[in-house]
Chain A
Amino acid sequence: KAGVTQTPRYLIKTRGQQVTLSCSPISGHRSVSWYQQTPGQGLQFLFEYFSETQRNKGNFPGRFSGRQFSNSRSEMNVSTLELGDSALYLCASSPEVAAGTEAFFGQGTRLTVV
């Protein structure tokens, strides 16, 4: 069974630009979550989607948005990039949203903003 696939693996963008990251969950998984990982803040929850609906969002500005498609694939978008948005963005998928369900992580997209 293929794991969680994130594309691209690496990105370099300029301040003020926008970026879209993609995540394909494990086949059959309907829940997709996104996390931002930085050396200073560690791993922080961005948002979670289930059946094309955003269930919750972390404490991030409105420049961060996402969506989920009918095939459970998800994208996240960051507009008006800032230097502080440089991070590893991790996507995780789960078969359901039941309590205690484990999340399976992709390898991440390394975003560098210059």
Chain B
Amino acid sequence: AQSVTQLGSHVSVSEGALVLLRCNYSSSVPPYLFWYVQYPNQGLQLLLKYTSAATLVKGINGFEAEFKKSETSFHLTKPSAHMSDAAEYFCAASGGGADGLTFGKGTHLIIQP
């Protein structure tokens, strides 16, 4: 079974600073990994996904994530934070079967002006 751990329920960065949101997965085989963003009272929007084609994945809105098998990690980064990045971010894993997505608890990103 998959499990996903997001370190830090809240992360605060200054506008223009580096954003780093951490995600670790637990699986006997590398899963398919996703990062989603959720704005207040909205559904989830896909930022990027890893499907083994490349370890560095670029997504929308300047975000990217690097898959590191040795560390079982899939951290999300953005070089320069913008006020509009303030939202809840979820890391998710899929084993490829019909078990749906397994989500982490989420990280609330706060952008300080």
Contact = CB atoms under 8 A, between A and B. Distances in A.
Contacts, number: 64
A43 interface: yes
Contacts of A2: none
A35 B42 CA distance: 14
Interface size class of B (residues with CB under 8 A): 20 to 34
A54 to B, nearest CB: 9
B94 A99 contact: yes
A47 B100 CA distance: 8
A56 B94 contact: no
Contact of B103 (A43, A47, A108): A43
A14 B97 CA distance: 36
B39 to A, nearest CB: 10
A63 interface: no
Please classify the interface of chain A as helix (H, G, I), strand (E, B), loop, or mixed, using the class held by over half of its residues. strand
B44 A45 contact: no
B44 to A, nearest CB: 4
Nearest to B43: A105
Interface of B: 32, 34, 36, 41-46, 49, 51, 90, 92, 94-106
